[in-house]
């Protein structure tokens, strides 16, 4: 089971869209380079909204820019607010939001002086806990629509250019694939194979999806895939609630002439994605676990994407075999000791009020460190059988203090090979408990 933060196919229950000029490069710049953070299979970019620095997720699966009503965004000044309703993935009702127009949004040296966005009020819509770093919003179509965009997952940088040819060197064997745009989101046909069944399927290209693919097995009569074995799993949370389904392997998926073998894919249950099936002919979504294995040049103006494999193409497809979902639950103050490597020749012994000598070579520090807790557990999974429960706070994993490592690193321990033992110390009701779990690959 793996945390999936999938804000896919935002459906806005309002009419009318503000005409926007969009992002503009400085006249003297033909291209710009933007660094990004790639965490939990999501692209996170720094932005400045009305003068306030924030972190946004880059998501081709959304049309409109979203801002979350979180503590970090409380100081953002928004313009021309109007109450609306928003619906996304999940099986809950539409949620309250505000539309806001004529905002100044800066990304690198690009600026949009009249940006429209939607402020999401539901505090449960919180990417940050599952990613392990502050995420304040999502941007999609409006980032891509005016320029050609190259995403380099290996070097973690984005290049935007006025001319698509400037983003590809002659020696790079890119293949062009035509895109179809529906509601300003990019779709393409990709070959999918399971056993003797090989089908050209119609997929949304979705950088907000952390899986290889989501397949809608009953979307079309000719498209019916059901892998065996499979596991029932939590797939993520959308704007309208949690999403559940199954996870399994298929034989291959191909982007153009480039195929990947035995990828792990997800099959969301139909009641969580009913409105997605309204897109005529859509068979699913392709996500960043697949896309990160390619050099990608997005050419929205000419409705194409250029692809060729990068150094990650042969990486194995792994998943969280522990059956537990870990989230970032906040920060806590911890005490740390630091040895002073240089001792002054004038240093003297220091005594406390009680007469106890204090070592003058040790400095006591107070620091804010992240805390991580168990959020979900799959029944009869290794984590369940090891006694872990929802709400347990992780203290150590394989000897590492969890306050000193990232959520990505914690999940890395839970994706090691089949049969690997993971030692965990956790805190429950103020007491520290030690347990071990043995990873079991149910999808060989």
381 and 361 in a common domain: yes
CATH of the domain at 432: 2.30.42.10
**pLDDT tens digit sequence for 45-63:** 999 999 999 999 999 999 9
The Cα–Cα gap between 11 and 308 comes to 32
- φ, ψ dihedrals at 407, nearest 5°: -65, -35
Q: How confident is the model at residue 9 (pLDDT cuts 50, 70, 90)?
A: very low
**pLDDT tens digit sequence for 339-386:** 444 443 333 444 444 444 444 444 445 565 789 999 999 999 999 999
364 and 434 in a common domain: yes
116-120, 121-125, 208-212, 325-329: range with lowest mean pLDDT: 121-125
Q: For strand 11-12 and strand 230-238, is the pairing parallel, antiparallel, or unpaired?
A: unpaired
185 in any annotated domain: yes
194 and 121 in a common domain: no
Q: Which of 106, 133, 167 is the last residue of a domain?
A: 167
Give how far Cα 361 sits from Cα of 266, 342, 353, 367, Å. Answer: 55, 8, 19, 19
394 in any annotated domain: yes
217 in any annotated domain: yes
202 in any annotated domain: yes
422 and 379 in a common domain: yes
4 in any annotated domain: no
1-5, 79-83, 293-297, 435-439: range with lowest mean pLDDT: 1-5
Starting at the earlier edge strand, list the strands of the sheet with 148-152: 31-35, 157-161, 148-152, 294-299, 304-309, 175-178
CATH of the domain at 219: 2.40.70.10
The Cα–Cα gap between 334 and 178 comes to 53
Tabulate helix, strand, coil % of the chain (nearest 5): 10, 50, 45
127 and 232 in a common domain: no
Q: Are 375 and 327 in contact (CB under 8 A)?
A: yes
236 and 149 in a common domain: no
Specify the length of the chain in residues: 444
**pLDDT tens digit sequence for 178-233:** 999 999 999 999 999 988 788 888 999 999 999 999 998 766 555 566 777 888 88
64 and 15 in a common domain: yes
* Beta-ladder partners of 401: 396
Q: Are 394 and 410 in contact (CB under 8 A)?
A: yes
pTM: 0.84
- φ, ψ dihedrals at 413, nearest 5°: -65, -30
Range of the domain at 121: 11-167
When the pLDDT of each residue in the chain is averaged and rounded to a whole number, the result is 83
For residue 143, the surrounding DSSP H or E stretch is helix 141-144
257 and 284 in a common domain: yes
161 and 258 in a common domain: no
26 in any annotated domain: yes
136-150, 186-200, 269-283: range with lowest mean pLDDT: 269-283
316 in any annotated domain: no
Number of compact structural domains in the chain: 3
163 and 37 in a common domain: yes
The Cα–Cα gap between 234 and 325 comes to 9
**First-last CA distance in the chain:** 15
Q: Which of 270, 293, 316 is the last residue of a domain?
A: 293
Beta carbons within 8 Å of 356's beta carbon, 6+ residues apart: none
Establish whether the linkage from the previous residue to 229 is cis, with ω within 30° of 0: yes
Three-state SS at 103: strand
Looking at residue 277, its pLDDT comes to 59
148 in any annotated domain: yes
201 and 162 in a common domain: no
Q: Which of 293, 311, 338 is the last residue of a domain?
A: 293
* CA R_g for the chain: 24
183 and 284 in a common domain: yes
């Amino acid at each position: 089971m793996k945390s999936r933060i999938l804000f896919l196919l935002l459906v806005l229950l309002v009419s009318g869209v503000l005409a926007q000029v969009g992002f503009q490069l400085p006249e003297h710049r033909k291209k710009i380079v933007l660094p990004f953070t790639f965490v939990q299979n999501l692209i996170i970019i720094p932005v400045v909204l009305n003068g306030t620095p924030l972190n946004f997720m880059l998501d081709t699966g959304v049309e409109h820019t979203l801002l979350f009503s979180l503590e970090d965004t409380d100081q953002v000044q928004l313009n021309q607010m109007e109450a609306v309703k928003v619906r996304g993935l999940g099986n809950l009702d539409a949620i309250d939001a505000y539309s806001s127009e004529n905002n100044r949004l800066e990304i690198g040296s690009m600026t949009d002086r009249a940006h429209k966005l939607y402020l999401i009020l539901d505090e449960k819509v919180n990417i940050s806990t599952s990613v392990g770093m502050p995420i304040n919003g999502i941007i999609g179509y409006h980032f891509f629509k005016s320029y050609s965009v190259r995403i380099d997952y290996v070097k973690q940088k984005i290049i935007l250019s006025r001319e698509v040819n400037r983003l590809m060197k002659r020696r790079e064997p890119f293949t062009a694939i035509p895109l179809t745009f529906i509601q300003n989101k990019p779709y393409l046909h990709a070959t999918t194979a399971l056993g003797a069944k090989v089908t050209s399927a119609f997929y949304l290209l979705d950088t907000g999806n952390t899986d290889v693919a989501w397949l809608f097995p009953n979307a079309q009569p000719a498209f019916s895939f059901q892998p065996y074995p499979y596991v029932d799993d939590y797939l993520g949370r959308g704007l309208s609630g949690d999403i559940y389904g199954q996870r399994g392997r298929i034989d291959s998926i191909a982007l153009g002439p480039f195929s990947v073998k035995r990828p792990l894919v997800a099959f969301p249950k139909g009641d969580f994605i009913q409105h997605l099936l309204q897109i005529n002919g859509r068979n699913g979504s392709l996500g960043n676990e697949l896309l990160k294995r390619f050099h990608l040049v997005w050419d929205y103006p000419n409705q194409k994407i250029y692809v060729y494999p990068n150094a990650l193409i042969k990486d194995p497809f792994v998943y969280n075999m522990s059956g537990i979902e870990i989230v970032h639950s906040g920060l806590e103050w911890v005490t740390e000791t630091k040895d002073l490597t240089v001792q002054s020749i004038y240093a003297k012994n220091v005594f406390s009020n009680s007469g106890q000598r204090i070592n003058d070579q040790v400095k006591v520090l107070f620091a804010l460190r992240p805390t991580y807790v168990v959020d979900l557990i799959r029944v009869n999974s290794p984590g369940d059988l090891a006694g872990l429960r929802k709400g347990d706070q992780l203290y150590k994993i394989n000897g590492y203090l969890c306050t000193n490592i990232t959520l990505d690193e914690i999940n890395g321990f839970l994706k090691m090979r089949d049969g690997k033992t993971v030692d965990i110390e956790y805190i429950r009701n103020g007491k520290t408990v030690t347990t071990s779990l043995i990873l079991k690959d149910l999808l060989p």
